[in-house]
Chain A
């Protein structure tokens, strides 16, 4: 046998290892390249349109100049706030049941399974569901329908994180509180919630990030609106659908606005994601 350096068998294994590890580096580079390219395109196409007008002017009619996205931004904020306002408490309570009251029950494992399915269910299906369950009975597209569609997407995200975070709270904490005579509901609200606070907020932030870019479920629930409107019973302008309509139009002004809107929405969502992660990790390090 030769030394490891000269033996062809060793050299062959080393070469395979080098090749495989090179491919792993390549894969990572491949993944990161897309991120850089997408963000680069967004910045280069969206930055020229960023101005104060974007936040103060309404969406312009076709083939005009100027205008902004004020009505769409406000509409999106409203839809997201209401959607999360409805979905987050339901998700929080359901997650609480699963982690606290029914930790070992059959019901909990069934719900966990169903919740995981809902978590990955196509968002366009949620749109179809809300169209059939809300839009048709109410007789038209409305802001409420859109907010409900978003709420349906929020619920499984919050259920999942709430359950996970409450399960991380050490049991002796609950036992100590119970030993002081605190009823179960107060043990949960005053002790378990407080111990898991950062995690619960992370879940809600992730849910906000998840729904604020959603387009598919809004397409046929709120539709869109060219004008300023805060009326939840009618169509409301919103950023994703406005981008969708504007970007496919030959009007250069609309296209410019669409890219600026895309830049805004992406950076808002990514900052939320990063904020949630920072919050989540600062908790883990404690």
Chain B
């Protein structure tokens, strides 16, 4: 397309006979070709980046894959300094990653949807922008700040006031008294999940607010006209219309939560042993890497890289599912 445009501009040069113009045009054409190949190279480098990440992690993880194989996924013991060979298993970190992230979503999804409903249906127009910016600022606070705050402020508060109350409340209920068993702890899986919930809240809010805004006003007005309350409009019109997009947003938030590092490393307690209680310390893949990688070597380091590879595969799958859902929503809108 670009070359055909240039070919046309070439004819007047010959008529004009000006060498100067021909020279300028030639340099322009050279610049054109250069610029296009430059942008193409940059675009392809994005693909290479992903390939590079996967290959580099795989190479780093290979000694651990060779040594442990599938046992790595089913072993709970994490003994990096054992002689002659360390025994390392990923079950604890995998459990912690999945449970903390899912629990975070259980907290963040209803709250995030509630905020989006507030912003799209209830909020006075003047306040709409300031409040959505304030919520989005939660996403701007660096991860390590959440970690410090969780460690020094939230953890002690929960251990003193919230956890004992919950433990007492469920003490006589079967099953729940195991999930919420004491003792209360400053560092726990639950604290990590709560911090994660606060961190993914802005992502879920932003996406669900945007997809709520795609609902045609006519649909809502028709429902209001039929006498529906605001809640009935939201529940019967807005949510069904945007379901795919909301799920996409939730998955995107989940992808974030799975890989969150510093905040979790501060508050989860780095315990590789799986405990049934949510109030007990645990660990996640990213927290384990952050706290142990700098002092690791050999098989221990390789195992940490393998953990990283597992995390990448996990988030890759979740994010892919999220993108496919959001793309399906876009396609529906295009129709």
Contacts and interface: CB of A to CB of B under 8 A. Distances in A.
Contacts of B31: 183, 185-186
Interface stretch (A10-18, A49-57, A67-75, A226-234): A10-18
A94 B46 contact: yes
A186 B28 contact: yes
A23 to B, nearest CB: 6
Q: Which of A14, A181, A223 has the most CB of B within 10 A?
A: A181
Given A14-B229, A223-B294, A123 B259 contact: yes
Interface residues of B, number: 93
Given A117-B320, A121-B259, A111 B47 contact: yes
Interface string B123-142: 10000000101111110111
Interface string B287-331: 001100110000000001100100110011001100100000000
A31 to B, nearest CB: 5
Interface stretch (B83-91, B143-151, B165-173, B178-186): B143-151
Interface in B31-56: 31-32, 34-36, 38-47, 49-50, 52-53, 56
Q: How many A residues touch the partner, as a band?
A: 35 or more
Nearest to B205: A31
B141 A38 contact: yes
Interface stretch (B67-75, B109-117, B214-222, B269-277): B109-117
A220 interface: yes
Contact of B43 (A93, A124, A126, A189): A93
A98 B53 contact: no
B122 interface: yes
Contacts of A212: 142
A65 interface: no
B140 A122 contact: no
A101 B52 contact: no
Q: Which of B43, B143, B252 has the most CB of A within 10 A?
A: B43
B232 interface: yes
Nearest 4 Cβ contacts at the A-B interface: A122-B259, A213-B142, A27-B114, A93-B42
Interface of B: 1-2, 5-6, 9, 28-29, 31-32, 34-36, 38-47, 49-50, 52-53, 56-57, 59-60, 110-115, 117-119, 121-123, 131, 133-138, 140-146, 148-149, 151-153, 198, 201, 205, 229-232, 234-235, 252, 255-256, 258-262, 286, 289-290, 293-294, 304-305, 308, 311-312, 315-316, 319-320, 323
25 contacts: A13-B232, A17-B231, A17-B232, A21-B122, A27-B110, A27-B112, A31-B111, A94-B42, A94-B43, A97-B43, A101-B36, A107-B44, A110-B47, A120-B259, A122-B311, A123-B261, A129-B52, A132-B56, A184-B32, A186-B31, A216-B262, A219-B294, A258-B148, A259-B148, A272-B140
Given A21-B122, A223-B294, 10 more contacts: A31-B205, A35-B141, A115-B46, A124-B259, A128-B304, A128-B305, A152-B49, A155-B46, A184-B36, A277-B133
